[in-house]
Structure 1
């Protein structure tokens, strides 16, 4: 248990080491998915665990005011540069630096599995107004498309391979606040697979993540209505080189030894170019699938406190 908790904490701290690449390569969820997640007429929305701001700018097009909370200093600096109109704050899902009941929506993109739901769910409920919305989305490559599924076959790193910290300075640094994203439950079923290389069929993945979210919300009491779910597909323009480099922004790949990481990304680019008969710098449409849930904050008689 301790070993798995330690690995999850280390993985949570890896993203800041690739903040610029993360910002450049990670696609936001499909536009129609964001439309579905954000309530119409939304005044104030929180992008929670906002990372490098991949989703933040899209929220700004759909809400009057955007607040972005991100625990990693490096990711937060990149986010602030990319989204100067957003209010960018240091914080975590378990302890939000926001007043009670002032938000119309909280959106979480590809980060719910890092949270401690026993603390995060009441805290999210606290900052939402009654009738406000919690929205959760995972953006994955669409392996219902046959060539995408074929490309990804065999690319997942060997889980038994040794992993190292992102850099020699990591052991000298004070605990990184991003580690608070780590979920306390070490059970394998709690941890969502890396979206870079999906392990499950999309319908099964939607069902399993939806079941976890429902369990998390119900365990907190009558704070949220039962979540609705949706799945949206879209494509993003990219090149074979950048599509392969995208893999390098996921924690399991970041933590590989450098030579293993280099080989994996080179193989990903080579096989993709061969599959599509493209040079490295020619653009093509890469299919994505956004798995979405939204739940309404109930009108409870008493305001949720920090406990």
Structure 2
């Protein structure tokens, strides 16, 4: 992550939002994970693993997964979800793993917090020759009216870039490939508030302003024609992915 105090504060805010993140954030679709992690890979580093959303999918696919996550609160949530996985403290710029020790590195919903140059160098170091770096983001589909309104509420006043952009990996990696995987997450309407509360923008707002926006999310759930009176709803996503092989 760039040396920007505001961005650092937002990245650290997940310590406060770990429980909401673990309970409300979506998983990742199998077809995206299969595209991201190459056939023949065995040992995978899930970097900035958070509460284990992607880690769980990787484990289910049979990979030997090492989860690295700087936040203690996030690691505790991951352990609750996956008691057989012991997450390690570490960062994208200093993973603590041996050189050439993994076949693939995955980063879900976190690349934008990293110092790209330092993270690229560290990831290239821990990858075996020809290994793959894969980046994933779940992006809500705003073509659905209530989803667009939800996004407007939770990003109101947020200056951070919302749409994922291609990583700049330098000459350590081949040119990244790109793919997108549409899918839907079936959620309880009442969890929209918790999903909103897991966002770094809301986590770093003054309490009064945060509650105002969360109350607007509740109002959306009570009044929008597609949500009113419903227990569950399909939340459409696009999982946006890039993958690149390390050179050497």
TM over 0.5: yes
Contact conserved, 2:174 with 2:246, CA < 8 A, in 1? yes
Which has the greater radius of gyration? Answer: 1
Given the superposition, is the C-alpha separation of residues 277 and 123 from structure 1 closer, same or farther in structure 2, using an over 3 Å criterion? closer
TM-score (norm 2): 0.92
Determine helix, strand or coil for the equivalent of 2:87.
Answer: strand
Contact conserved, 1:121 with 1:217, CA < 8 A, in 2? yes
* Deviation (angstroms), 1:155: 4.5
Contact conserved, 2:24 with 2:191, CA < 8 A, in 1? yes
Aligned partner of 1:217 in structure 2 is: 169
1:166-185 correspondence runs (5 A): none
Deviations 1:224-249 (A, max 9, x none): 11010011111111122202320110
* Deviation (angstroms), 1:151: 4.0
Are 1:272 and 2:221 counterparts?
A: yes
Contact conserved, 2:227 with 2:233, CA < 8 A, in 1? no
Tell me which moved more, 246-255 or 4-13.
Answer: 4-13
In 1, Cα distance between equivalents of 2:91 and 2:247: 22
In 2, Cα distance between equivalents of 1:84 and 1:123: 27
In 2, Cα distance between equivalents of 1:97 and 1:272: 44
Aligned partner of 1:132 in structure 2 is: 131
Aligned partner of 2:243 in structure 1 is: 294
Determine helix, strand or coil for the equivalent of 1:76.
Answer: helix
TM-score (norm 1): 0.75
Deviations 1:173-230 (A, max 9, x none): xxxxxxxxxxxxxxx8xx543xxxxxxxxxxx45xx01xx1xx212xx2x21101001
Contact conserved, 1:41 with 1:63, CA < 8 A, in 2? no
Aligned partner of 2:192 in structure 1 is: 243
Tell me which moved more, 263-272 or 16-25.
Answer: 263-272
1:1-307 correspondence runs (5 A): 5-159=4-158, 192-193=161-162, 205=163, 209-210=165-166, 213=167, 216-218=168-170, 221=171, 223-275=172-224, 276-279=226-229, 282-299=231-248
In 2, Cα distance between equivalents of 1:32 and 1:91: 28
In 1, Cα distance between equivalents of 2:215 and 2:105: 38
Contact conserved, 2:92 with 2:122, CA < 8 A, in 1? yes
- More strand by percentage: 2
Structure 2 stretches lacking a partner, 5+ long = none
* Deviation (angstroms), 1:79: 1.2
Determine helix, strand or coil for the equivalent of 2:53.
Answer: coil
* Deviation (angstroms), 1:10: 1.1
In 1, Cα distance between equivalents of 2:136 and 2:227: 32
Determine helix, strand or coil for the equivalent of 2:205.
Answer: coil
* Deviation (angstroms), 1:73: 1.2
Structure 1 stretches lacking a partner, 5+ long = 160-187, 194-204, 300-307
In 1, Cα distance between equivalents of 2:71 and 2:144: 34
- Count matched residues: 246
RMSD: 2.0
In 2, Cα distance between equivalents of 1:155 and 1:15: 16
